[in-house]
Structure 1
């Protein structure tokens, strides 16, 4: 079982937002830095390695981070500055390949299969990391492998400021001892199901016949089998179209569902303005789906979406559908919410749009 051989680099900036802050403010160097607004409503955007020693992680409530590390220095995020540095880093990538797939401001896949400036993918990764250090005074870690998912795992092996290479002949030995949870798409729930089958490592997963995995997990079972053997044929996609345009906000105090309408309308206006700009920059793409996102006071996240027979063609229609999605939440009326978001997705080419074919509910069924 083999996949077409590629040379993929996954580059991941080290503690990016926090490192930018430490670079630009010498008084922060060597100290535990948490990039977040203080307060009960805030979450951690990033943590320096000094803060991570205390268990602070991104997406953690800021109040918990403060409890774990009382001596932490809290710095409000400055995304304008982070985006500027990200553009610098991507310009460095572009010197080596046109096939760049950004995943976020601080990481990207690069396909250097046909790059000829340097003799190998390893040499290219070394050159990229050196240029990042010299030109931005920041560090990046990189993984080099025959495909995307292995490169991403590899980039984490020598963090921070490291490089790890997995050559094609090393793939199966590299993967075998890893916990099955390291495979993409295997979260805690799936990890628990696999543990129930006696599977704890990727090597364990290889022992099960693909037929047994398919019988238990459907098509995902076959995908698990492929990943266990290091197969990932996904190409690096340099121009990925927008999947969703959205806006969200965290409230100063938790609100009931019936109190969300004015906030939904306000956020829908922001998302609609972004959608109109998207249509100017990428004409001919229409959004069909409206999405409502909610986060409860106890941090439960839920989304509801609808693809109506007639696509949302105005702000008013967008607001109406988004507000109507509250009826599908299904939680007790006393439930309070700390965050609401609204979005537009399901983009299509208008020439492919057939209203009669778009009679879908939130789960995609007819």
Structure 2
């Protein structure tokens, strides 16, 4: 059929309970049983949970002690983020080979823009066959929805998980959303939902009937976005995934230096800075690179693929390992840089498999200080022996 004016075809693919699904690939005896992935101690945090545990009220980011109280029979498994990264990249390759435009929204979510393909190949058939290919080549269950925009496709995917597929016909966006609870809208958390219910909106349909002026008066600019979402309006594009996107920072020293301790301290400071930027933009990185420029202006660099993370500890460990391999102690250095690439969307995931809730709150508190007072407001002691000229303090 001919492409209708302004009509788009956007598919959203979401791997079902991704971490748990990978663990079940590794150990099939876990299939059908309640499974929690996260820290092994009762002071740890739930990184992911199977649908069998969700029926008991278990949720991601919940303290492990609470989760086990809700579902005592759950099998707790320490997370293996290296495996999750491997399978995420495998799915990315499968989709990337077939999709005209793919956005990797997170470690387990993908958007595909098929606009225009309906002229030559049925979009419904295309996404159905792509799902089968993903399952066949990776062994992972995945759900998808096809709709006219990213908002509708994401909400629809969530409605058919696990292992489901659906299509929301063009012009049916509002009727699809109308009966759903307001929490089903992306970005509507508990606080916003409570406020909307106090205003008489329990469902997305009832939210769509609230006058725009009323929503603006209560939520400011956010009220406009709520109104658009409630009416199924979303013009955001599918942004093509590129491994070249990066966050970087480098220092050119006032004087060339061969001081290894000074260089290591600079490395720590730079790494913590880019890691903070990573978390501030709610992203994870899958690749760390180090760059050195020597006094003769020769430049060398080295990179390493890592499991997706935003953790200072893992990034620092990788950066130090790269530096140790790259640094030639016989030459003076004039520039040192750190770059994080292969970026994907991802909320704070520091230590979900090993840290306690207290440690995670500490990281978040440090980031809050940096957000308010600047990147250099707080950092590790190993990065705190430099003066304002980039030279070592002698105190």
TM-score by length of 2: 0.64
Q: Is 1:270 the counterpart of 2:316 in the alignment?
A: yes
Cα separation, partners in 2 of 1:45 and 1:171, compared to 1, 3 Å: same
Report the secondary structure of 2:76's partner residue.
strand
Compute the displacement of 1:129 (Å): 1.3
The corresponding residue for 2:195 is: 193
* Structure 2: stretches of 5+ with no match in the other structure: 248-273, 280-311, 321-335, 343-355, 381-395
Check the 8 A contact 2:44/2:357 in 1, yes or no: no
Output the CA distance in 2 between the equivalents of 1:189 and 1:54.
23
Output the CA distance in 2 between the equivalents of 1:128 and 1:145.
16
Output the CA distance in 1 between the equivalents of 2:315 and 2:130.
41
Compute the displacement of 1:4 (Å): 3.8
Output the CA distance in 2 between the equivalents of 1:18 and 1:276.
37
The corresponding residue for 2:184 is: 182
Compute the displacement of 1:73 (Å): 1.7
Residue deviations 1:237-259 (CA, integer Å, cap 9, x gap): 124745762499xxxxxxxxxxx
Cα separation, partners in 2 of 1:70 and 1:213, compared to 1, 3 Å: closer
Residue deviations 1:18-47 (CA, integer Å, cap 9, x gap): 111112212222222211231133111111
Check the 8 A contact 1:93/1:100 in 2, yes or no: yes
Which structure has the larger Rg? 2
The corresponding residue for 2:370 is: 305
Compute the displacement of 1:209 (Å): 2.2
Compute the displacement of 1:56 (Å): 2.4
Cα separation, partners in 2 of 1:209 and 1:52, compared to 1, 3 Å: closer
Counterpart selection for 1:218 from 217, 220, 241: 220
The corresponding residue for 1:245 is: 275
The corresponding residue for 1:86 is: 88
Counterpart selection for 1:29 from 8, 28, 31: 31
Report the secondary structure of 1:95's partner residue.
helix
Q: Note the 1:284-295 alignment, pairs <5 A.
A: none
Q: How many residues align?
A: 285
- Greater RCO, 1 or 2 (C-alpha within 8 Å, sep 6+): 2
The corresponding residue for 2:68 is: 66
* Structure 1: stretches of 5+ with no match in the other structure: 249-265, 283-293, 313-317, 325-366
The corresponding residue for 1:109 is: 111
Cα separation, partners in 2 of 1:14 and 1:307, compared to 1, 3 Å: same
Output the CA distance in 2 between the equivalents of 1:64 and 1:184.
25
> Which has the larger displacement, 234-243 or 64-73?
234-243
Cα separation, partners in 2 of 1:268 and 1:172, compared to 1, 3 Å: closer
Check the 8 A contact 2:63/2:357 in 1, yes or no: no
Compute the displacement of 1:268 (Å): 11
Report the secondary structure of 1:104's partner residue.
coil
Output the CA distance in 1 between the equivalents of 2:208 and 2:234.
15
Report the secondary structure of 2:370's partner residue.
strand
